[in-house]
């Protein structure tokens, strides 16, 4: 990869970035928000450093400061021994920065974006054209130079964003959440690209909320509420969770098995236990992280119920470092039980024979291009069904047809027994929809967004006034009701979108990338509420690129090249896709696609 970057990049210094008591405050007086609080850290040159932490931890503020876009409120941010703003002003090409939202112009082609960014960096002539050639080869975007950026897949957009950031051959590359919204295969390709850059001598800071990405970095800086929780090799932090991580079957004890308690009920119970810092579903098993101070009795109980010690992961240690899961129970299950849906007959018995979501040979064509082909499946009450697939594989097209947002070319679909094609408005009133890019109005207060969606779904004011205080508190939005929606941190926007999609208590819930970009603790909290809804009978259809999240699904359909290439439980997909002893769902995802490509060459 050394041919893509300038020789100056290979000049290594011991330290590329030094943060000396760095502070940053926004606003004044009572409204002041301290985004960074006395940050002390050193980042070695010529390697990848992961910047991790929950939403609003200060990651983006720190990256923008290092890019020279913001002046420190206090302390210093030194890049290669000079203040970041000074270096950015005097040697702007020495720092490459890819923001969260790419910084691309979606109505311009790939080549036009490159030319525009090159002109901003003062690159012209033959040297510019040679660099274009190298970058297009490096990112595999050569065949797509005339495609509009807005029509690229998520992974290709990220590659183009990195290519634009590399113009000028920077010594420091700043990547703010490059893996958000990108499928596992594309994330691996991005990682390989960036790793090759670091091997060539470039210093890279990779901001992420995904702990599997951070675990690959030689070093990490973990932020929380503007402070450094940890700085060093990820293995060092991971070791702190050794002897505290257990795997056990969901309904592990005899009483649970006799009572028919499933893994979700067991998860809810373990999540409320004092001494348990983390609990999540991992296929047919539960993964528990016990507190360092957990009682011997709790450890003995876990072992007595079939628990086995497991090697810790960085995410286990991270959850421990940030204080563990929120152990408050979700109100969604209680609310749904108290107010049964119209799907119940007069005797109060659920019609379990009728699927809540039904897709029958759904096909969508755009001219001669088939985006989705003969998609068929059913989702019943209380079931979570996942649609997985690479960017551009057809899952979003399928999802939009099932939501009534796109009319299929052929086939039919129904929601809660109502045909979407013949009675779309009636069907849509029975579903809640959380869009990947949200459907929120950014310039109005949070409470006004809630009121608008309540009106759209036909929720009467009395019921709204009953539910809003309860759900706003449960989703940690109580203190944001009068804030401008566009100013909310990403995690709070996610929570607001969920509240708006569920306030009318829908029997069917569609979730499109519901936790994209949020940290592990927020994901746990989010899924606690979703599982409470399904326990009360809701059916959920979810798309996600985050494989740990897909473990919550009862069944998963893997969509690739517009077709369903496999369907089954998470454990079934893992068992059928690889020969590994204990594969992850991500490994199974990639193996399934690679096998399909071998068996069905283009």
Between CA 531 and CA 581 the distance in angstroms is 29
Q: Among 100-104, 214-218, 381-385, which is the least confidently predicted range?
A: 100-104
Which residue matches tokens 């107010």? 339
Between CA 235 and CA 498 the distance in angstroms is 35
Q: What are phi and psi of 407, to 5 degrees?
A: -80, 130
Q: Where in 283-339 does DSSP place strands (E)?
A: 285-290, 308-309
Sheet containing strand 308-309, strands side by side: 276-282, 285-290, 245-249, 308-309
User: Residue 186's pLDDT band (boundaries 50, 70, 90)?
Assistant: confident
Copy the structure tokens of residue 25. Answer: 């405050």
What is the model's pLDDT at position 424?
A: 67
pLDDT in tens, 310-334: 999 999 999 999 899 999 889 987 7
Return left, alpha or beta for 471; rule: phi > 0 is left, psi -120 to 50 is alpha, else beta. alpha
Between CA 22 and CA 75 the distance in angstroms is 4
Between CA 351 and CA 328 the distance in angstroms is 31
Which residue matches tokens 């990820």? 234
Taking only Cα atoms into account, the Rg of the chain, rounded to an integer number of angstroms, comes to: 25
Within its chain, how far is the Cα of 390 from the centroid?
Answer: 14
Domain 7-236 has CATH 3.40.50.300: yes
pLDDT in tens, 197-250: 888 899 999 998 888 889 999 999 999 989 999 999 999 999 999 999 999 976
User: Residue 102's pLDDT band (boundaries 50, 70, 90)?
Assistant: low
Q: Write out the DSSP string of 227-243.
A: EEEEEE-HHHHHHTTTT
Within its chain, how far is the Cα of 281 from the centroid?
Answer: 17
pLDDT in tens, 39-65: 999 999 999 999 998 878 899 999 999
What is the model's pLDDT at position 338?
A: 66
Q: Write out the DSSP string of 118-187.
A: HHHTT--HHHHHHHHHHHHHHHT-GGGTTSBGGGS-HHHHHHHHHHHHHTT--SEEEEESTTTT--HHHH
With a pLDDT cut of 70, the percent of the chain lying above it is 92
Between CA 503 and CA 332 the distance in angstroms is 10
What is the model's pLDDT at position 345?
A: 46
Copy the structure tokens of residue 426. Answer: 């009636």
pLDDT in tens, 449-471: 999 999 988 888 999 999 999 99
Using an 8 Å Cβ cutoff, are 145 and 109 in contact? yes
Question: Distances from the Cα of 45 to the Cαs of 14, 76, 96, 166, 195, in angstroms?
Answer: 6, 18, 15, 17, 13
Of 590, 585, 578, 543, nearest to 185 by C-alpha is 590
Between CA 312 and CA 292 the distance in angstroms is 13
What is the model's pLDDT at position 553?
A: 93
Question: Distances from the Cα of 403 to the Cαs of 437, 502, 561, in angstroms?
Answer: 15, 15, 21
Between CA 402 and CA 578 the distance in angstroms is 31
Between CA 534 and CA 357 the distance in angstroms is 14
> Given a cut of 90, is residue 354 above it in pLDDT?
no
Does 7-236 match 240-321 in CATH topology?
Answer: no
pLDDT in tens, 59-88: 999 999 999 999 999 999 999 999 999 999
What is the model's pLDDT at position 251?
A: 54
What is the model's pLDDT at position 260?
A: 42
With a pLDDT cut of 90, the percent of the chain lying above it is 51
What is the model's pLDDT at position 549?
A: 84
pLDDT in tens, 393-442: 888 888 889 888 889 999 999 998 888 887 767 777 788 988 866 678 99
What is the model's pLDDT at position 352?
A: 58
Residue 378 pairs with which residues in a beta bridge?
358
Between CA 274 and CA 277 the distance in angstroms is 8
Between CA 329 and CA 532 the distance in angstroms is 9
Q: Write out the DSSP string of 521-589.
A: HHHHHHHHHHHHHHHTT-EEEEE-S-HHHHTT-SEEEEEETTEEEEEE-HHHHHHHH---SS--HHHHH
Residue 128 pairs with which residues in a beta bridge?
none
Using an 8 Å Cβ cutoff, are 275 and 324 in contact? no
For range 147-173, the mean pLDDT: 87
| Domain spans of the chain, in order of start | 7-236, 240-321, 442-505
> Given a cut of 60, is residue 6 above it in pLDDT?
no
User: Residue 187's pLDDT band (boundaries 50, 70, 90)?
Assistant: confident
Record: fold of 240-321: Alpha-Beta Plaits (3.30.70)
Using an 8 Å Cβ cutoff, are 124 and 114 in contact? no
Using an 8 Å Cβ cutoff, are 374 and 411 in contact? yes
pLDDT in tens, 531-590: 999 988 899 999 988 888 888 999 999 999 999 999 999 989 888 877 777 788 888 888
Q: pLDDT averaged over the chain? A: 87
> Given a cut of 60, is residue 3 above it in pLDDT?
no
> Given a cut of 70, is residue 252 above it in pLDDT?
no
Sheet containing strand 563-568, strands side by side: 431-434, 508-512, 539-543, 384-388, 555-560, 563-568
Name the range with the highest mean pLDDT among 20-24, 168-172, 174-178: 20-24
């Amino acid at each position: 990869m050394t041919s893509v970057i300038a020789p100056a990049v290979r000049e290594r210094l011991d330290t590329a970035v030094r943060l000396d008591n760095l502070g940053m405050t926004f606003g004044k007086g009572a409204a002041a928000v301290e985004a960074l609080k006395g940050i002390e850290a050193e980042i070695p040159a010529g390697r990848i450093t992961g910047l991790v932490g929950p939403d609003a931890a200060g990651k983006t503020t720190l990256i923008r400061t290092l890019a020279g876009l913001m002046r420190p409120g206090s302390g210093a941010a030194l890049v290669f021994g000079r203040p970041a703003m000074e270096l950015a002003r005097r040697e702007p090409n020495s720092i490459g920065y890819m923001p969260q939202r790419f910084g691309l112009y979606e109505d311009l082609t790939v080549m036009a974006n490159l030319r525009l960014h090159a002109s901003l960096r003062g690159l012209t002539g033959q040297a510019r054209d040679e660099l274009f050639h190298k970058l297009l080869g490096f990112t595999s975007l050569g065949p797509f130079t005339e495609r509009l950026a807005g029509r690229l897949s998520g992974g290709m957009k990220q590659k183009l964003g990195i290519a634009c950031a590399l113009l000028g051959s920077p010594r420091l590359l700043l990547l703010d959440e490059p893996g958000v919204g990108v499928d596992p295969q594309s994330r691996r390709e991005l990682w390989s690209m960036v790793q090759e850059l670091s091997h060539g001598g470039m210093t890279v800071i990779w901001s992420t909320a995904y702990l599997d990405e951070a675990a690959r970095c030689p070093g990490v800086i973990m932020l929380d509420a503007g402070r450094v929780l940890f700085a060093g090799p990820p293995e060092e932090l991971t070791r702190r969770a050794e002897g505290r991580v257990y795997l056990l079957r969901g309904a592990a004890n005899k009483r649970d098995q006799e009572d028919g308690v499933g893994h979700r009920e067991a998860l809810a119970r373990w999540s409320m236990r004092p001494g348990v810092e983390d609990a999540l579903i991992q296929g047919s098993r539960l993964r528990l992280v016990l507190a360092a101070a957990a009682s011997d009795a709790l450890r003995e109980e876990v072992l007595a119920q079939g628990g086995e010690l497991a090697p810790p992961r960085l995410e286990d240690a991270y959850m421990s470092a940030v204080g563990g899961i929120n152990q408050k129970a979700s109100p969604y299950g209680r609310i749904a039980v108290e107010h049964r849906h119209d799907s119940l007959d007069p005797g109060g018995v659920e019609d379990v024979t009728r699927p809540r979501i039904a897709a029958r040979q759904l096909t969508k064509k755009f001219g001669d291009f088939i985006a989705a082909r003969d998609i068929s499946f059913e989702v019943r009450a209380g079931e979570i069904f996942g649609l997985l697939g690479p960017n551009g594989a057809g899952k979003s097209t399928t999802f939009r047809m099932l939501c009534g947002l796109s009319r299929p070319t052929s086939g039919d679909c129904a929601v809660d027994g109502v045909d979407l094609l013949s009675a779309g408005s009636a069907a849509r009133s029975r579903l809640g929809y959380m869009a990947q890019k949200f459907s929120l109005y950014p310039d109005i207060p949070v409470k006004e967004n809630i009121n608008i969606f309540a009106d759209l779904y036909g929720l009467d004011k009395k019921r709204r006034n009953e539910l809003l205080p309860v759900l706003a508190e449960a989703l940690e939005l109580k203190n944001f009701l009068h804030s401008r929606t566009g100013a909310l941190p990403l995690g709070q926007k996610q929570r607001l979108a969920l509240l708006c999609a569920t306030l009318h208590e829908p029997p069917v819930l569609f979730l499109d990338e519901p936790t994209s970009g949020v940290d592990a603790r927020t994901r746990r909290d989010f899924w606690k509420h979703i599982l409470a809804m399904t326990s009360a009978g809701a059916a959920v259809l979810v798309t996600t690129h985050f494989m740990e999240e897909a473990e919550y699904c009862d069944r998963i359909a893997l969509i690739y090249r517009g077709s369903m290439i496999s369907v089954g439980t998470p454990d079934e997909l893992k068992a059928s896709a690889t020969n590994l002893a204990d594969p992850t769902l991500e490994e199974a995802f990639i193996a399934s696609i690679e096998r399909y490509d071998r068996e069905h060459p283009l």
